[in-house]
Amino acid sequence: MILTIVVPCYNEEEVIVEATHQFTLLLNRLIGSGKISQQSSIAYVDDGSKDRTWDLIKGLSESNKFVTGIKLSRNRGHQNAVLAGMMTVTGDAIITIDADLQDDINVIEKMVDEYHHGMDIVYGVRTDRSTDTVFKRNTAQLYYKLLSMFGVDMIYNHADFRLMSRRTIESLRQYSEVNLYLRGIIPLIGFRSTCIEYSRKERFAGSSKYPFKKMLKLAIEGVTSFSVVPLQMITFIGFIVFIASFGILTWVLSVALFTNQAVPGWASTVLPIYFLGGIQILCLGVMGSYLGKIYIESKSRPRYFIENKVGQNDFQDKDEQTSRNKNITI
Ligand code: UDP
Ligand code: MG
């Protein structure tokens, strides 16, 4: 089994040499025990770094037979860097891991074992976030809860440390959407998968390349790429305002009929505001739900992947394994 370790790097000059040292030791150990093949490698994806990261990668690739490098044209963000690596490298199994050695690299051996036991996807799951700041821990926690409320199927406390087999990588390739949110998409692919727990360490060196702004962007991406619930909420709000305007109507009528405190002109001014406002938001919501449909359709996500086949091999070729590309007559 050829293993490729994909490592996204953005301004990681302080850690890359140490990371390479540790990955090399690990690969040699795994090759020694016969778990992976000699052709296994480490693929660094330089995400448009502004420091010496790429020069270091080039240098390492000359002195270390395992090291290969991919350079992106500019900084495209962690998710895109990971994806670029996964789509470019070969290998029977691909492990993605951050460069900063926060994720326990000894878990890689367990992931490889799981692969040999027939798993297609092995998720690394953090049990201990004590090294993250309180703020990061709590916002992350809240975010996972919010996502599950919105109906997004995600692995709790899993970042992008995972092993994927060749066929799951090929399945992933068929998601054509531009704004790809890997942590949400990969569980949708299916196949046999499992989780391995580990505790997350301190960053080896340097500072986090995920400032709050980038975190927020990733979080919004997660919600809007998977859920039309925010759009449906507009319909709900419109409906509530609409109903409330009837409540106000009853109140206005009772004031006018049973007391002598009615202010002339108040009801005829205020009531239509609520009433029309309610109808307008409701209409927006209805339009939103159609927009939501178009939005989901425009992604043209593949509908299924075939995991296994038995019997005679009179099967269609590879393109037919997914429902996309088929002519659907309406
Ligand atoms: N990274 C990247 N592009 C970016 C930001 C980060 O490729 O625009 C890489 C970074 O080099 C690291 C990984 O993504 O290997 C995770 O980043 P970091 O450790 O800074 O995030 P944190 O652990 O603080 O969430
Ligand atoms: Mg990190």
- In this prediction, residue 323 carries a pLDDT of 46
Q: How far is CA 278 from the centre of its chain?
A: 36
The answer to whether residue 60 scores a pLDDT higher than 50 is yes
CA distance 43 to 88: 10
Structure tokens at 232: 């449906």
CA-closest residue to ligand 1 atom 17 = 209
pLDDT at site 322: 47
User: Which atom of ligand 1 lies closest to the CA of 206?
Assistant: 20
Q: Name all residues whose Cβ lies below 6 A of ligand 1.
A: 8-10, 12, 47, 75, 77-78, 81, 98-100, 102, 208-210
Q: Determine whether 132 is exposed, middle or buried from the number of CB atoms within 10 Å of its CB (0-12, 13-18, 19+).
A: middle
Three-class secondary structure of residue 29 per DSSP = helix
DSSP annotation of 289: H
Q: Classify 5 as helix, strand or coil.
A: strand
pLDDT computed for residue 7 by the predictor: 94
Flag whether pLDDT at 49 surpasses 50: yes
Whole-number pLDDT of residue 305:
57
Rg (CA), the chain: 26
Cα 27 to ligand 1 centroid, rounded to whole Å: 23
Phi and psi at 211, nearest 5°, equal -65, 170
**Closest ligand 1 atom to Cα of 102:** 23
Instruction: Assess whether pLDDT exceeds 80 at residue 42.
Output: yes
Ligand 1 centroid from CA 9, angstroms: 7
| Mean pLDDT across 170-194 | 84
Return the bridge partners of 4, or none.
41, 94
pTM of the model: 0.73
Ligand nearest to the CA of 8: 1
Q: How far does residue 30's CA lie from ligand 2's centre (Å)?
A: 25
Average pLDDT over residues 152-163: 84
pLDDT for the residue numbered 325: 43
Mean pLDDT highest for which of 100-104, 113-117, 171-175, 203-207? Answer: 113-117
User: Averaging pLDDT over each range in 77-81, 152-156, 293-297, which range is the top one?
Assistant: 77-81
8-12, 109-113, 325-329: which has the minimum mean pLDDT?
Answer: 325-329
> Looking at ligand 1, which atom is closest to the CA of residue 10?
11
* Index of the ligand 1 atom closest to the CA of residue 208: 20
Q: How far is the CA of 81 from the centre of ligand 2 (A)?
A: 14
In this prediction, residue 307 carries a pLDDT of 54
Q: Of all protein residues, whose CA lies closest to atom 24 belonging to ligand 1?
A: 208
| Nearest one of 291, 289, 280, 288 to 238, comparing CA atoms | 280
CA end-to-end distance (rounded Å), the chain: 45
Helix (H, G, I), strand (E, B) or coil at 124: strand
More confident residue, 230 or 110: 110
pLDDT in tens, 295-329: 777 777 765 555 555 555 555 544 444 445 444 33
The distance from CA 95 to its chain's CA centroid, rounded to whole angstroms, is 16
CA angle 261, 262, 267 (to 5 degrees): 155
Mean pLDDT of 21-37: 92
pLDDT of residue 159: 83
- Residues in Cβ contact with 195 at an 8 Å cutoff, skipping those fewer than 6 apart: 122, 123, 124, 125, 155, 158
